[in-house]
Amino acid sequence: MREGEQSPGVNFTPEQRLRIAIELDEFGVEFIEVGHPAVSQDVMEGIKLITSQGLKANLLAHSRALRRDIDLVLNTNVNWIGVFFCLSNACLQKRFNITLEQALDRIENAILYAKDHGLKVRFTPEDATRTEWENLERALSLAKELKVDRVSIADTTGSAHPLYFYELVRRVVSFGIPTNVHCHNDLGLALANAIMGIEAGATLVDATINGIGERVGIVDLAQISTILYYHYGIKHYKLEKLYELSQIIQEITGSRVQRNYPIVGENAFIHKAGLHVSAVIKDPRFYEFLPAEIFGRERVIYLDKYAGRDSIRFYLEKMGIRDEGIAEKLLSIVKNSQEVFTPERLLEEARKMGGVE
């Protein structure tokens, strides 16, 4: 949720933040990153609304490695804090003007302060994929020494190659700290990198509904949860809620997903070509990797010049019409038109032919 709200043009009200959290909890996510309390008072109010609900998911608030940020997190009643700090030489020299040793001291003080106040800690070395390994190794060794509960490897600029990301995550996992991956989509590789992170041993993937987030966003929740179901046998998420979740975020943000967006796009379970339709009517598995019903969707047969006889019959049978002569005439009309025919238009044409009383 925190990443999603960083999408340009998106600002959740406290009530919207609560609604999204409840929906995500019902879907079955393990963690909800509820926001960064230091951003504004309404973010703080929204987080407090969420923590008052007794949700099953772990609730995590975002924080800089600053005591004043951590104090704000403590005031929200979340059980997790996500502390982040960039450790690349470029960041240390040009952004913070400090040494690596000074940065590690700040990180240590922040983690100890959070833990001393009862919070579980996730540490994120920001821009990890472009950080010198020597710096990252020092930070991970410190995290292990301080008994950090999780680390998150962030491809902050979305520029990592999946093979490189696999090797990086594999090295991080070797420290024995449960590992998240946070993959941005600037090169369209967020999902590929997330999968490679899983293969390398990561046990949690950051995702947002509709993939929204800073710039072009991060991993899409519908896609990664479906991949976990289909390829990894992880079946506790309520996939039938995915379309509803997508619609809620589209409503709140005013930003529509593309029609051809996987899983939740309007075209995801539309079948057009006549040969495809003929096969799908016999068994959807011929052209659907999973049936539409698993996602709470309906299968749609599209009617235009690509339609075949079975496309026409599919709708006529729903209307109680089994006249092959009418089916042939309707097929001819559809195939010789540049229009898309709705079931209602098909029924209208059938009435003209006397096929419906």
Q: What pLDDT digit, counting tens, does each position of 185-194 carry?
A: 999 999 999 9
CA distances from 114 to 64, 121, 142 (A): 11, 7, 15
Instruction: Extract long-range pairs of 341-347: CB within 8 Å, 24+ residues apart.
Output: 341/303, 341/304, 341/307, 342/303, 343/303, 343/315, 343/318, 343/319, 346/303, 346/312, 346/315, 346/316, 346/319, 347/315, 347/319
Token duo for residue 139: 């930070």
Candidates 36, 117, 161, 276; catalytic one: 276
Cα–Cα distance, 253 to 66 (Å, whole number): 31
pLDDT of residue 355: 59
Angle between helix 343-352 and 324-335 (nearest 10):
120
Q: Which residue has the higher pLDDT, 347 or 255?
A: 255
Cα–Cα distance, 40 to 37 (Å, whole number): 6
Asked whether residue 3 is marked as a ligand-binding residue, the answer is yes
Cα–Cα distance, 246 to 221 (Å, whole number): 9
> Residue ranges of the domains in the chain?
2-253, 270-352
DSSP 8-state secondary structure symbol assigned to residue 293: G
User: How many helices and strands, by DSSP H and E, does the chain display?
Assistant: 15, 9
Q: What is the mean pLDDT of residues 278-299?
A: 95
Q: What is the mean pLDDT of residues 256-285?
A: 95
341 contact partners, CB below 8 Å, separation of at least 6: 303, 304, 307, 334, 349
Give 58-92 pLDDT, tens digit per residue.
999 999 999 999 999 999 999 999 999 999 999 99
Token duo for residue 224: 């990664």
Residue 253: alpha-carbon gap to chain centroid: 15
In SS3 terms, 115-164 reads as: HHCCCEEEEEEECHHHCCHHHHHHHHHHHHHCCCCEEEEEECCCCCCHHH
Cα–Cα distance, 184 to 216 (Å, whole number): 8
Token duo for residue 350: 């059938």
Mean pLDDT of the chain: 96
pLDDT of residue 356: 59
Asked whether residue 126 is marked as a ligand-binding residue, the answer is no
DSSP 8-state secondary structure symbol assigned to residue 208: B
pLDDT over 80 at 225, yes or no: yes
CA distances from 115 to 51, 104, 110, 149, 201 (A): 19, 16, 9, 10, 25
Task: Write the burial class of residue 247 (CB in 10 Å: 0-12 exposed, 13-18 middle, 19+ buried).
Answer: middle
Beta bridge partners of 153: 181
3-class secondary-structure state, position 220: strand
What's the predicted TM-score (pTM) here? 0.93
Give yes or no for a contact between 54 and 85, defined as CB atoms under 8 angstroms apart: no
Asked whether residue 124 is marked as a ligand-binding residue, the answer is no
Token duo for residue 21: 């959290």
Instruction: Return the CATH fold of 2-253.
Output: TIM Barrel (3.20.20)
Angle between helix 133-145 and 100-116 (nearest 10):
30
Is 276 designated active site?
yes
Cα–Cα distance, 307 to 155 (Å, whole number): 45
Q: Look up tokens 């995290």; give the residue.
A: 143
Q: What is the mean pLDDT of residues 199-211?
A: 99
Give 312-355 pLDDT, tens digit per residue.
999 888 888 888 888 899 999 999 999 998 889 888 888 888 75
Cα–Cα distance, 339 to 265 (Å, whole number): 22
Cα–Cα distance, 59 to 30 (Å, whole number): 9
Asked whether residue 309 is marked as a ligand-binding residue, the answer is no
Cα–Cα distance, 19 to 79 (Å, whole number): 20
Q: Which of 196, 214, 94, 205 minimizes the C-alpha distance to 150? A: 205
Asked whether residue 156 is marked as a ligand-binding residue, the answer is yes
pLDDT of residue 320: 86
Cα–Cα distance, 103 to 52 (Å, whole number): 35
